[in-house]
Structure 1
Amino acid sequence: MRSRNRIAAALAVAALVAACVGAVPAAAAAGPATLGLDYHCTFPLLGPQPVHVDLTATVPDRVEVGEVMPGIVVDSVSAVNAESARGLTALDATTLEGHALADAMLTVPEMPDGLPVEVDSALEKTSIPASGGFSVKGRGQAPDLTFTQPGPGKVTVGNLVLTLTPRTDDGGESGLGTFESECTQDPGQNNVLASFTIGDTTEPAHHTYSLKGSSTLKSGGATVPLTGALNAEVNGTDVTTGLTLAPSKTQFQLLGFLPTTADVAFAAQSEPGTYKDGVLTAKAKVAASFPAFSVFGAIPIGGGENCRTSAPSDMALTSATGFDLRQGGDLKGAYALSPLADCGALTGLLSSAVTGPDNPIALTLTPDDE
């Protein structure tokens, strides 16, 4: 009986971790959360037995009204000790399988009394070694969620029902058969696994960022270091950005062998952008001017105050999914530069080295207003 007690307790730990952690919703910005809980689980022939569970999960810091959060998948691993393994093998069990049904509660402004959520987590079929302990892996997934009202949210973890089957070599059930175990959470515990904020980007908001990054002028392979600023006016999913880039310098090999330095300045005119489903897209019309070109760092060969691209070009900078306007992040894109004009006698040659399509740009935004 003591062996069965240890077996059931070890299996309960594995199933509780798999099922309870799976109840956490996804988020655009996330961080780790930990929670320890004590349960009493009722096992065949043994009655209620104490089980302690330590949970670790990735939880949301903030989500936005109307944004779909895909249900996240969380994997868990629970160690079963050698003594429990010996108890299972004594009953001719060689593998273990099953699932766990966990009760969780989601509380958000539109559901102040809470929304019950059941998460069914499968436990992988696991081989039981002849000696020593082993690990049981579990996987659970929460449903997709969309919120309609801003405010605080939280996820609490409740009770659990385990369905477990130890099996013999031929695939048949061991002496324990398939059994259910109801696990009741001990009273008086903090059972809040996750707390988060639901934001509302439908209200106009202003964000300012400093930026750092680079762009490559593809035709000549010149890398342009970039610094500057970006401000974003957000109204619902509509975004108006102001992009300012500081003057810079770049170097390339003119005609493939002449070391050339160019002063370069970008001017950007804002175009309507978007912030939707956690993705920021900033758009602008971009022109470039080249006040000076020199070879060997000293000999002027072109440029001037009127040396610039002949027409502005479209630029779209896009973030990865999960961009948080409060925290900033990375934007990437590409743009074309139209041919140069008014750069002196070598305008055509210089233009071929620094203009053309598909010039990549990558920027990192750091918030000034948070």
Structure 2
Amino acid sequence: MRTKKTTGGACAALAVAGAMVAASLAGVAGAPPAAAAPATLGLDYHCTFPLLGPQPVHVELSTDVPDHVAVGEVMPGFTVDSVSTVNAESARGLTALYATSLEGHALADATLTVPEMPDGLPVEVDSVLEKTPIPASGGFTVKGRGTSPDLTFTQAGPGKVTVGNLVLKLTPRTDDGGESGLGTFESECTQDPGQNNVLASFDIVGETGQPAEYTYALTGSSTIKASGGTIPLTGALDAKLDAGTVTAALTLEPSKAQFQLLGFLPVTADVAFTAQGGTTGTYKDGVLTTTTKVATGFPAFNAFGAIPIGGGDTCRTSEPSSITLTSAAGFDRDAGGELKGAYELASVTGCGVLTGVLGDALTGPDNAITVALTPKKTS
């Protein structure tokens, strides 16, 4: 019965605690309400309870997160909600100890990272857990709500809020207002590793609305599905981000592809890339998406690395490939990260007498591509 009691109480308290820390920090993303977009975050924790040791707990946060704020502008606070469901077993455990309500405090850790605080500012928020009635049977939900403070920023650039660990101080109470069998107890909640814990990502733009700029070195590779060949990729991406809209210039260095012609003949292809029309995309809810049209040329094909079998100045795909790359959630614009996608290579022309055979080994859909963006240092 004590097991069920503490687990249910912790789950309820965690939801409110998470909401309050999110609410108190979410003001860094403040902006006029019309610019806000819904965002949600789910996090798993293990909380250490009396007699039980670590127990799993899950919390869901939801808020309207603006895409950008302006330097020097006072941003009004907005609301963050949380909902946690306590199951029927936990409710029965609480009522078995004559508990009819739950209350307490939650001390939540979070980190605010913005240009004037690039190493992050640790923040602790002590939140009051709203008194919640426990039903005689069945599960119940605990809702939390908080409003962020007004904040102002002095430097343009990216910002984010991450939610960390929790310390809960809980008191289940009986119908007459007294404490139940467990009294008041404290529980430390550690966030499970490997999760995206970014509640809000946003841009701080200059007073005149100038976009934030990022410069990345690019490395990666592409797999040619038709022949199983690989193309190493190196280059650069110079990006500008304005209110969640990305415009960029992509540069890809010449490369060499290795593949099998006719299934047995080893061939090395010189590959030249030309980005056409620039790169466009979005950065929303921590996900970076870019789209670029790239024309691909093949200056030379060599069998066994030495015997010319085609290529030249006119050897290229008949039309550019549209390559869309997408990051996982939680992409950090300051630290860079990995993007993945797939694209189609159009038929090749102008490669000599073996154009058709070479094209069969190269062209077609579903060619996988993975790239890593690493920030370049600027002087």
Partner Cα separation in structure 2 for residue 327 and residue 62 of structure 1: 23
Preserved CA contact (<8 Å) 2:4 2:93 = no
**1:349 alignment partner, SS class:** helix
Identify the match of residue 311 of structure 1 among 316, 319, 322: 319
**Any idea what the Cα deviations from partners look like across 1:296-326, whole Å, max 9, x if unmatched?**
1111000112211111121111111111211
TM-score, normalised to structure 2's length?
Answer: 0.59
Alignment partner of 1:181 is 2:189: no
Q: Report the Cα offset of residue 141 of structure 1.
A: 9.3
**2:93 alignment partner, SS class:** strand
Partner Cα separation in structure 2 for residue 324 and residue 331 of structure 1: 12
Match of 1:259 in 2: 266
Which protein has the larger Cα radius of gyration, Structure 1 or Structure 2? 1
Partner Cα separation in structure 1 for residue 270 and residue 130 of structure 2: 60
Match of 2:49 in 1: 78
Match of 1:97 in 2: 93
Which amino acid is the alignment partner of residue 243 of structure 1? L
Which amino acid is the alignment partner of residue 97 of structure 1? G
Partner Cα separation in structure 2 for residue 163 and residue 117 of structure 1: 14
Partner Cα separation in structure 2 for residue 303 and residue 266 of structure 1: 14
Match of 1:242 in 2: 249
Q: Report the Cα offset of residue 69 of structure 1.
A: 4.2
Match of 1:24 in 2: 18
Which amino acid is the alignment partner of residue 306 of structure 2? A
TM-score, normalised to structure 1's length?
Answer: 0.60
Partner Cα separation in structure 2 for residue 301 and residue 120 of structure 1: 79
**Any idea what the Cα deviations from partners look like across 1:257-284, whole Å, max 9, x if unmatched?**
1111111122223242111111111111
**Any idea what the Cα deviations from partners look like across 1:72-95, whole Å, max 9, x if unmatched?**
34231336299xxxxxxxxxxxxx
**Any idea what the Cα deviations from partners look like across 1:228-284, whole Å, max 9, x if unmatched?**
111210000110021111111121110111111111122223242111111111111
- Cα distance change, pair 102–230 in 1 and its aligned pair in 2 (3 A): farther
Partner Cα separation in structure 2 for residue 314 and residue 27 of structure 1: 42
Which amino acid is the alignment partner of residue 235 of structure 2? G
Q: Following superposition of structure 1 onto structure 2, how do residues 196-235 of structure 1 map, counting pairs within 5 Å?
A: 199-201=202-204, 204-235=211-242
Match of 1:334 in 2: 342
Partner Cα separation in structure 2 for residue 267 and residue 144 of structure 1: 50
Which amino acid is the alignment partner of residue 183 of structure 2? S
Which amino acid is the alignment partner of residue 105 of structure 2? D
**1:97 alignment partner, SS class:** helix
Identify the match of residue 162 of structure 1 among 171, 186, 195: 171
Q: Report the Cα offset of residue 20 of structure 1.
A: 6.2
Q: Report the Cα offset of residue 219 of structure 1.
A: 1.1
Preserved CA contact (<8 Å) 1:25 1:72 = no
Partner Cα separation in structure 2 for residue 202 and residue 284 of structure 1: 25
Stretches of structure 2 lacking an aligned partner (at least 5 in a row): 31-35, 54-91, 95-100, 113-124, 133-141, 154-159, 187-196
Match of 1:280 in 2: 288
Preserved CA contact (<8 Å) 1:70 1:145 = no
Partner Cα separation in structure 1 for residue 26 and residue 253 of structure 2: 34
Partner Cα separation in structure 1 for residue 303 and residue 149 of structure 2: 59
**Which is further off, 202-211 or 69-78?**
69-78
Partner Cα separation in structure 2 for residue 354 and residue 27 of structure 1: 53
**2:41 alignment partner, SS class:** coil
Q: Report the Cα offset of residue 351 of structure 1.
A: 1.1
Preserved CA contact (<8 Å) 2:298 2:316 = yes
Match of 1:57 in 2: none
Partner Cα separation in structure 1 for residue 20 and residue 328 of structure 2: 16
Alignment partner of 1:118 is 2:120: no
**2:358 alignment partner, SS class:** helix
**Which is further off, 156-165 or 291-300?**
156-165
- Cα distance change, pair 15–293 in 1 and its aligned pair in 2 (3 A): same
Q: Following superposition of structure 1 onto structure 2, how do residues 345-356 of structure 1 map, counting pairs within 5 Å?
A: 345-356=353-364
**Any idea what the Cα deviations from partners look like across 1:316-370, whole Å, max 9, x if unmatched?**
1111111121111111111111111111111111111111112111111111148
**2:232 alignment partner, SS class:** strand
Which amino acid is the alignment partner of residue 203 of structure 2? D
Q: Report the Cα offset of residue 292 of structure 1.
A: 0.8
Which amino acid is the alignment partner of residue 18 of structure 2? V
Partner Cα separation in structure 1 for residue 148 and residue 42 of structure 2: 11
> Between the two proteins, what is the percent identity of the paired residues?
42
Preserved CA contact (<8 Å) 1:277 1:321 = yes
Preserved CA contact (<8 Å) 1:215 1:226 = yes
